[in-house]
Structure 1
Amino acid sequence: MEGNVLIVGLGLIGGSMALAIKKAHPEAVIIGYDIDERQLGLARSLKVIDEAAGSLTEAYERADLIVLAAPVMQTEVLLSSLPLERLKPGVIVTDVGSTKRRIVERARRLLECGVAFIGGHPMAGSHKSGVAAARAHLFENAFYILTPTEEVAVQRVEILKRWLSGTKAQFVILTPEEHDRITGVISHFPHLIAASLVHQAREYECENALVSRLAAGGFRDITRIASSNPEMWRDILIHNKQEMLTLFDRWMAEMEKLRSFVEEENSPAIYHYFLEAKQFRDGLPARTKGAIPSFYDLYVDVPDYPGVISEVTGYLAKENISITNIRIIETREEIYGVLRLSFQSEEDRARAKACLAQHTSYAAYEG
């Protein structure tokens, strides 16, 4: 497809969106805008975008597709000013925010002006941020939620899908309310729970300094999402306030039920509670991208001797397998330590596992 695509916000998502669109539509012109001039300059030098917008007003006038890839609060501000701008006839406006009801409400004036606004949420991400981490395949096989309203013609939705075909995502149509309810359950509330567990551990550390030391293993892993951007999660929880309040009520009722099982030492009820949780969790898709970025970790048992880490990473480097993170979980004299290697994708992890099996005798296993 030919035309001008404006990406407003050049972080990980906006940059990856620009790369995916350009890959599928090389004849399109990708115009980028960001309030951070360093990110804008980096996006230009990395060829993530074709042009850097001199001003939003000028870029709006040229755009056939506008992708608002800013944080949700900033997206609200952008949507408030858009009806005052001179937009190209037939332009489609979309966003990539993690909440939809308030965003779609704020876009109501655009819709009343006859501009096609289609809310969007690509359910993929990374634990890295910034345009330097952008990649065209970030959204591949991920669910991409679209929330068009009744005012938007089906043909306009299909045009947007064609523009976004380079993401290789699976498009799902939901109402804004359905979207916020589902993401509240599987993404927003889990982040809140993870943060609350960390707060609880911090408070207990005042009583015993061993808490943080002993939390370095499994506790640190199950609360990894608590390290997410606090500004972003503040805005998301405020945007999805009603669903979060409902989930609070249901969660507290759930905890009261579980508390009663423990208080009464109801062994069968406790057993079945964990059994049902295990069965449901084990039945979840293992290779499908969801609302929370996946961790592609490989655990490697290695002997404790000088140079063993460089030996392991050296084999992977020869195979051009990129490691996004490396951590020594345990290493003591005369016993095996554990390296946790993190990768960008399931494919990279599988290649690394095969590589180490070929070149070493170290046990490598997935978490």
Structure 2
Amino acid sequence: MTTNISIIGLGLIGGSLALALKRNPAITITGFDRSYKSADEAYRRGIIDSIAPSVQSAAKNADFLIFAVPVAATAALLKEATGWQLKSSVIVTDTGSTKQPIMEAAKGLIDKGVTFIGGHPMAGSHKSGISASIEHLFENAYYILTPPSACREEDVDRLKSLLKVTRGKLAVLHAQEHDQMTAVVSHFPHIIASSLVNLLASQEQQQPFVRRLAAGGFRDLTRIASADPIMWRDITMQNNLELVNQLDGWLSEMHTVRDMLKDNDPGTIEAFFDVAKQFRDKLPSVAQDAAQGALYMQFDLHIDVPDHPGVISEITRILATKEISLTNIRIVETRTDVYGILVISFRSAAERNNAAAVLEKETDYSMQIL
């Protein structure tokens, strides 16, 4: 028996989800995107099986209806969907990174007896659009589900069963709990990273060399500030209350730090860094097969190579011979707070770990997975 999946929005998330779901041969995927160019590419690449002429058409025969568009657009479509013709057994879900606005927007559907379960696959990429879709995007990443309180357990299980092929780590949370936690570990860090970059930018006019010094640990620390500003504008507005609460806590912490610096007591300062180090060192690592966390991350391998001609081509040749793809490679000039001269980025922990094993076997370079 064929299961009909309709995906609204064929960008990175919608396209990657379609590719992952197509691991199940009993699934047929209909796609819709307001950009016909994206929908056509998805069809030509076999990411979807058919293109719907409209959102309503895509929804009509769906067993599972998945909204993979920004949260504001999803909320608007969920309100419109109360007037659509849907199967009585359909499960509607989404992929948005904030859940309380989505659950609020879905109330009209839920009141009509339609099953809606919020969803958030906590994975991403530095690329966007249907052309960036990859089948393994969600592997080992948390995939959060936020069913309403009255949702039947068997419906949650049906959605879990569908999503199992993504190889994500499925977890069920309350929408408010989800938004509070993602504010802490994802949304607020983006604000901090952007603030640090803006602070650096404001100092560059007086100290132009500071840009070069920022090429090491500062660049890695603030990597997430390179994310799509429109997407993060929307996320910040949608999770506004939780972010204000986090900022209040951060300001309180900064006042404590300011007092510590004014007192300049060596024991207090050392304890400050030690407590942070101890807690940070106990956080799960993707290198240890833990699930990917809330922040998009590249999987970096730091290699301490000698500075002589041909060393980079040697490493890339070895990786190419083993058919290991990389996404980025760079020389680090400021290394007081990072390991190694060469940093190579990969699409997944598995590819990075495989590369490390190959290079350790083929070379005598020291390397570290961070």
TM-score, normalised relative to structure 2: 0.94
Asked if 1 retains the 8 angstrom alpha-carbon contact of 2:184 and 2:246, the reply is: yes
Return the letter of the residue paired with 2:282.
G
Which residues in structure 2 correspond to 1:58-97 (within 5 Å)? 58-97=57-96
- Identify unmatched segments of 5+ residues in structure 2: 335-339
Evaluate the alpha carbon distance shift between residue 148 and residue 278 of structure 1 in structure 2; reply closer, same or farther with a 3 A threshold. same
Query: What is the CA-CA distance between 1:136 and the residue it aligns to?
Result: 2.5
Partner of 1:219: 218
Query: What is the CA-CA distance between 1:47 and the residue it aligns to?
Result: 1.1
Asked if 2 retains the 8 angstrom alpha-carbon contact of 1:123 and 1:143, the reply is: yes
Q: Over aligned residue pairs, what C-alpha RMSD do you find?
A: 1.6
Return the letter of the residue paired with 2:102.
I
Q: Deviations over 1:152-193 (max 9, x none)?
A: 211111111111111122222111110100000000000100
Tell me, in whole angstroms, the C-alpha distance in 2 between the residues paired with 1:150 and 1:342: 42
Instruction: Identify which range, 286-295 or 181-190, moves more after superposition.
Output: 286-295
Query: What is the CA-CA distance between 1:290 and the residue it aligns to?
Result: 0.7
Partner of 1:13: 13
Which residues in structure 2 correspond to 1:332-351 (within 5 Å)? 338-351=341-354
Tell me, in whole angstroms, the C-alpha distance in 1 between the residues paired with 2:46 and 2:298: 28
Q: Secondary structure at the match of 1:190?
A: helix
Query: What is the CA-CA distance between 1:117 and the residue it aligns to?
Result: 0.7
Tell me, in whole angstroms, the C-alpha distance in 2 between the residues paired with 1:19 and 1:43: 10
Q: Does 1:100 align with 2:110?
A: no
Aligned residue pair count: 361
| Residue of 307, 313, 322 corresponding to 1:310 | 313
Partner of 2:228: 229
Return the letter of the residue paired with 1:14.
G
Tell me, in whole angstroms, the C-alpha distance in 1 between the residues paired with 2:274 and 2:363: 38
Instruction: Identify which range, 170-179 or 123-132, moves more after superposition.
Output: 123-132
Asked if 2 retains the 8 angstrom alpha-carbon contact of 1:124 and 1:139, the reply is: yes
Q: Deviations over 1:94-147 (max 9, x none)?
A: 001110001100111000111111001111222222222222222222221111
Asked if 2 retains the 8 angstrom alpha-carbon contact of 1:111 and 1:151, the reply is: no
Tell me, in whole angstroms, the C-alpha distance in 2 between the residues paired with 1:278 and 1:18: 40
Asked if 1 retains the 8 angstrom alpha-carbon contact of 2:215 and 2:333, the reply is: no
| Residue of 297, 317, 324 corresponding to 2:300 | 297
Partner of 1:240: 239
Tell me, in whole angstroms, the C-alpha distance in 1 between the residues paired with 2:134 and 2:312: 28
Partner of 2:337: none
Tell me, in whole angstroms, the C-alpha distance in 1 between the residues paired with 2:333 and 2:277: 27
Query: What is the CA-CA distance between 1:265 and the residue it aligns to?
Result: 1.0
Tell me, in whole angstroms, the C-alpha distance in 2 between the residues paired with 1:282 and 1:94: 36
Query: What is the CA-CA distance between 1:28 and the residue it aligns to?
Result: 1.5
Tell me, in whole angstroms, the C-alpha distance in 2 between the residues paired with 1:240 and 1:92: 25
Q: Does 1:366 align with 2:330?
A: no
Q: Secondary structure at the match of 1:152?
A: coil
Evaluate the alpha carbon distance shift between residue 259 and residue 203 of structure 1 in structure 2; reply closer, same or farther with a 3 A threshold. same
Q: Secondary structure at the match of 2:341?
A: strand
Return the letter of the residue paired with 2:161.
R
- Identify unmatched segments of 5+ residues in structure 1: 332-336
Q: Secondary structure at the match of 2:22?
A: helix
Which residues in structure 2 correspond to 1:139-150 (within 5 Å)? 139-150=138-149
Return the letter of the residue paired with 2:4.
N
Q: Deviations over 1:229-281 (max 9, x none)?
A: 11111101110011011111111000000100001112222211111111111
Partner of 2:54: 55
Q: Secondary structure at the match of 1:280?
A: helix
Query: What is the CA-CA distance between 1:354 and the residue it aligns to?
Result: 2.0
Partner of 1:334: none
Asked if 1 retains the 8 angstrom alpha-carbon contact of 2:145 and 2:171, the reply is: yes
The percent identity for this pair of structures is 48
Return the letter of the residue paired with 1:202.
A
Tell me, in whole angstroms, the C-alpha distance in 1 between the residues paired with 2:201 and 2:327: 28
Which residues in structure 2 correspond to 1:41-52 (within 5 Å)? 41-52=40-51
Query: What is the CA-CA distance between 1:207 and the residue it aligns to?
Result: 1.4
TM-score, normalised relative to structure 1: 0.94
Which residues in structure 2 correspond to 1:193-204 (within 5 Å)? 193-204=192-203
Q: Does 1:255 align with 2:258?
A: no
Asked if 2 retains the 8 angstrom alpha-carbon contact of 1:99 and 1:239, the reply is: yes
Query: What is the CA-CA distance between 1:352 and the residue it aligns to?
Result: 1.1
Q: Secondary structure at the match of 1:32?
A: strand
Asked if 2 retains the 8 angstrom alpha-carbon contact of 1:298 and 1:349, the reply is: yes
Partner of 2:285: 286
Asked if 2 retains the 8 angstrom alpha-carbon contact of 1:140 and 1:168, the reply is: yes
Asked if 1 retains the 8 angstrom alpha-carbon contact of 2:116 and 2:147, the reply is: yes
Return the letter of the residue paired with 2:18.
A
Tell me, in whole angstroms, the C-alpha distance in 1 between the residues paired with 2:280 and 2:203: 29
Instruction: Identify which range, 200-209 or 121-130, moves more after superposition.
Output: 121-130
Q: Does 1:352 align with 2:355?
A: yes
Tell me, in whole angstroms, the C-alpha distance in 2 between the residues paired with 1:217 and 1:36: 39
